[in-house]
Amino acid sequence: MARKKVTFECTACGYQTPKWMGKCPNCGAWNSMEETIEQKAASPKHGVRSESTAKVQKLNDVRQEQTPRILTNSRELNRVLGGGIVQGSLVLIGGDPGIGKSTLLLQMCASLSKERKILYITGEESLNQTKLRADRLEEDASALNVFAETNLEIIHEAVKKIEPELIVIDSIQTIFHPDITSAPGSVSQVRESTQSLMHIAKQMNIATFIVGHVTKEGQIAGPRLLEHMVDTVLYFEGDEHHAYRILRAVKNRFGSTNEMGIFEMKQSGLKSVMNPSEMFLEERSSNVPGSTIVATMEGTRPLLIEVQALVTPTTFNNPRRMATGIDHNRLSLLMAVLEKKEGYLLQQQDAYIKVAGGVKLTEPAVDLGIIIATATSFKDRAVDGLDCFIGEVGLTGEVRRVSRIEQRVQEAAKLGFKRAIIPQTNIGGWTFPEGIEVIGVTSVHEALKYALKT
């Protein structure tokens, strides 16, 4: 006979305990314990062993096979996925409500359905709503198979009957396994549903995309185990009140996690941005204090981004340090270098730093641009609008070497910049592009001298 076991499970992290607790001992969340009833089968008799078809092999004897990929009509999506969709892979995509997750996947399915068998499963919309949304897109979705269902067993039967090459589940929080007594969207349901979909994807060699809701902190709802189970985790970022969206990969077993895809939301759907640097700089402030251009790398692609700084006298005992697009602690560190090494009296100044376009800068190569923007705002002196700044800044005020300097300078030259101020250690060993002057500096003091023309 099967035995019923009552447990309490944390909806935030999946921690299980035999009794209810007000605070989860694992993640510290309050009032997150939900009662679940698990069906446990009777244990097998002693001495009975399960058979396995797997065998131990030496790594040298394992045959390496090329992983086939399915190319979509979106260049940016192919870039983030590492060159296309891998057959049999399980991809999780998350993002804020209304950001464009369903639109992106419906566009992808509509374009692929012309030559392949695709199944789009919606648990949040009716078939009429899905058709209305598909009619707004430019892609012809007449050959796309759609299915409005939330029962995982019925979905499995439909997949075995149709045998598609790609499945989209929108969303995993609406899917439920009938053997689990908890409500759809709970930790148990999300974990078991994803586990079942993973088996379907691997056994039938079907590429599967799963849409996941996010919490108010911006993380995908459900247990952290969910991101470990899938092959690829994508995050769709951007402000729903602005046209541009950014797709990032935070996990990818078949490609790099440093790639970034940029899309523009239009009436007919999401369109790939062909020249992101030009898009980020189209509204930049030219020849005004506190504005500099930095060259950053997103995966294999160089991007030119505007960094803006505003330094004003403070009215508080402790000056404010606010940063949008860069780490707050990083701003404090770079301002301390300006105070110590250049004698800038910033202790009575509020500082506000903003990265234009909603991009988040994490690599150290943008340090020099942030420092120059802060210094020019404090001095109320503008830098030349055709200058580009590249370099990591150390605590002693030195400008350090950065990687892929050739691609960064070539991108600046392509967009018409006349000077690139880079680390001196990056000079040599490569050919400068035509039309741009490359200046090597060893310290922040030297970079400020060129930037402010003093």
Is-contact 123 171, C-beta < 8 A? Answer: yes
Token pair, residue 210, equals 């799963």
Question: Is residue 97 part of an annotated ligand binding site?
Answer: yes
Distance, in Å, from the CA atom of 108 to the CA atom of 361, rounded to the nearest integer, reads 29
- Facing residues of 244 across strands? 264
Residue 172 CB partners (closer than 8 Å, separation 6+): 92, 190, 193, 194, 197, 210, 211, 212, 222, 226
Is-contact 322 351, C-beta < 8 A? Answer: yes
Three-class DSSP category at 452: helix
DSSP conformation class of 431? P
Burial class (CB in 10 A: 0-12, 13-18, 19+), 38: middle
- Rg of the chain over all Cα atoms, to the nearest angstrom: 27
Question: Is residue 99 part of an annotated ligand binding site?
Answer: yes
Question: Is residue 5 part of an annotated ligand binding site?
Answer: no
Burial class (CB in 10 A: 0-12, 13-18, 19+), 271: middle
Distance, in Å, from the CA atom of 406 to the CA atom of 105, rounded to the nearest integer, reads 35
Per the listing, tokens 């301390």 go with 336
The type of residue at 395 is L
Question: Is residue 418 part of an annotated ligand binding site?
Answer: no
Token pair, residue 29, equals 């969340």
Question: Is residue 95 part of an annotated ligand binding site?
Answer: yes
Tell me the CB-side half-sphere exposure of residue 140, using CA atoms within 13 A. 4
Peptide bond into 182 cis (omega under 30): no
Residue 432 CB partners (closer than 8 Å, separation 6+): 409, 438
Three-class DSSP category at 53: coil
Is-contact 208 167, C-beta < 8 A? Answer: yes
Count the neighbouring beta carbons within 10 Å of the beta carbon of residue 438: 19
Is-contact 261 237, C-beta < 8 A? Answer: no
Per the listing, tokens 């590492």 go with 82
Question: Is residue 52 part of an annotated ligand binding site?
Answer: no
Binding site as annotated, residues = 95-102
Binding site as annotated, residues for ATP = 95-102
